């Protein structure tokens, strides 16, 4: 038991250290590939409990080279008394995008950490269109909730003013993506062209939420992947790196102490709201600490917030992205504590470990 507690503390410390080192001082948009900019900063609802959060800004050249149009992908966290994430993001955005030059806000899905900033964005850029998959509309118009029974942990956070209710948007502000726009699941640019977006295509990647989509930046092959997978939490290896990983983490494992702790808190002990998947060690693991006695790596993880998540669908979306790997070059999760994205090879190594992905990832 003492060993498990030691691993838990070491894992949490390593995750916080990696996050602090990679995200410190990044309250600005930085170019990751040509014309694609990332805003990534820690959101800390409680001191010592940071979450890596990212939104994307895409530059599209207008008729005059000096006057580009811009497209934002996702809207990020809200402000809370404990953290001014949205205010600082808006300050950085205004430095990049003059009034009237934000063409569209594309949403990967409707979880609050991806949409909470939309009202402030529309106040600053009233002509921007909001683009989202049709299956996410009920969660944005007040007709449905992702967590019907949020559990004790979330209710406490809400009482403390650390999380908010879902935003509600007028239905007529939403331009919809539909399954029929991409019947075979291939990247589809036509509905985005109708919204005036020239450089992006969407890929259906449901599972994490019913209408989750990813966006392909066609000029560079970069996929802005939302929450298809996350790269936030550590894998802990004590002694020789030989022990196999559990295929689905729903109980304590010394290899995944931070994952276990977060899932435990979110579920308030009943393990009913969240499930996770972390693969066997693969080339997708990124070591952040290596000694003779301890190895700590940041590893890709699937997060399935029930009941609106479909676990088989999210695994299928990973397999689908693997099958489309000839169409993209790099995968960028929204929650990536390392802030480095995943190469095609890293993504395929992770996908190959997943049940049912062998053929797609080969």
Q: Write out pLDDT tens, residues 304-355.
A: 877 888 888 999 999 999 999 999 999 999 988 888 899 999 999 989 887 7
Out of 196, 224, 252, pick the residue that ends a domain: 224
pTM, to two decimals: 0.83
Count how many domains the chain has.
2
Segment 150-169 shows an average pLDDT of 64
Give pLDDT, residue 264.
47
Helices (H) and strands (E) in the chain, counts: 11, 17
Cα distance between residue 91 and residue 127, in whole Å? 19
Residue with the bigger pLDDT between 125 and 287: it is 125
Spatial CA neighbour of 174 closest among 199, 141, 196, 206: 141
Domain identity same for 193 and 154: yes
- Mark whether 269 and 131 lie in a shared domain: no
Q: Cα angle vertex 49, ends 46, 51, to 5°?
A: 110
What's the rounded mean pLDDT across residues 99-118? 93
- Preceding peptide of 307 cis, ω within 30°: yes
Owning domain of residue 92: 25-224
Q: By the 8 A CB rule, do 52 and 40 touch?
A: yes
Beta bridge partners of 72: 57, 105
The Cα 206–Cα 213 span in angstroms is 6
- Average pLDDT of the chain to the nearest whole number: 79
> Rounded mean pLDDT of 118-129?
95
Q: Are the CB atoms for 86 and 119 separated by under 8 Å?
A: no
Residue 144 lies in a domain: yes
Please check whether residue 139 is in contact with residue 171, taking contact to mean a CB–CB distance below 8 angstroms.
Answer: no
Given pLDDT bands bounded at 50, 70 and 90, which one contains residue 241?
very low
Any bridge partners for residue 53, and if so which?
Answer: 41
* Residue 340 belongs to a domain: no
- Does 120 lie in the same domain as 67? yes
Token pair of 241, please?
Answer: 């790196």
Task: Give me the residue label for tokens 């402030």.
Answer: 120
Same structural domain for residues 171 and 255?
A: no
Q: Rounded CA gap, 332 and 300, in Å? A: 12
Place of tokens 């003013």: 161
pLDDT of residue 61: 79
Same domain assignment for residues 67 and 193: yes
């Amino acid at each position: 038991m003492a060993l498990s507690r030691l691993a838990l503390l070491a894992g949490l410390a390593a995750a916080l250290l990696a996050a602090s080192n990679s995200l410190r001082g990044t309250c600005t948009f930085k170019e990751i590939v040509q014309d694609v900019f990332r805003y990534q900063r820690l959101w800390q609802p409680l001191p010592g409990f940071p979450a890596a959060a990212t939104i994307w800004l895409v530059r599209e050249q207008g008729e005059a080279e000096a006057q580009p149009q811009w497209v934002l992908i996702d809207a990020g966290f809200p402000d809370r008394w404990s953290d001014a994430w949205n205010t600082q993001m808006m300050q950085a955005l205004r430095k990049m995008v003059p009034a009237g030059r934000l063409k569209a806000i594309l949403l990967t899905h409707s979880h609050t950490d991806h949409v909470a900033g939309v009202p402030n964005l529309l106040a600053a850029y009233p002509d921007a269109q909001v683009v989202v998959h049709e299956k996410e509309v009920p969660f944005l118009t007040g007709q449905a909730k992702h967590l019907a029974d949020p559990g004790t942990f979330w209710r406490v956070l809400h009482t403390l003013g650390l999380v908010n209710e879902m935003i509600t948007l007028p239905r007529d502000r939403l331009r919809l993506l539909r399954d029929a726009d991409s019947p075979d699941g291939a990247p589809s640019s036509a509905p985005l062209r109708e919204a005036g977006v020239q450089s992006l295509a969407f890929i259906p990647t449901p599972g994490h939420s019913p209408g989750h989509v990813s966006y392909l930046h066609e000029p560079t092959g970069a996929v802005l992947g939302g929450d298809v997978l996350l790269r936030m939490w550590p894998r802990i290896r004590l002694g020789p790196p030989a022990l196999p990983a559990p295929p689905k983490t729903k109980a304590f494992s010394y290899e995944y102490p931070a994952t276990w702790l977060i899932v435990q808190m979110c579920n308030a002990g009943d393990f009913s709201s969240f499930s996770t998947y972390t693969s066997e060690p693969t080339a997708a693991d990124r070591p952040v600490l290596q000694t003779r006695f301890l190895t700590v790596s940041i590893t890709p993880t699937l997060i399935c917030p029930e009941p609106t998540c479909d676990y088989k669908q999210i695994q299928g979306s990973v397999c689908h992205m693997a099958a489309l790997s000839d169409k993209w070059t790099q995968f960028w999760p929204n929650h990536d504590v390392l802030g480095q994205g995943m190469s095609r090879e890293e993504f395929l190594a992770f996908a190959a470990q997943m049940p049912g992905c062998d053929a797609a990832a080969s």
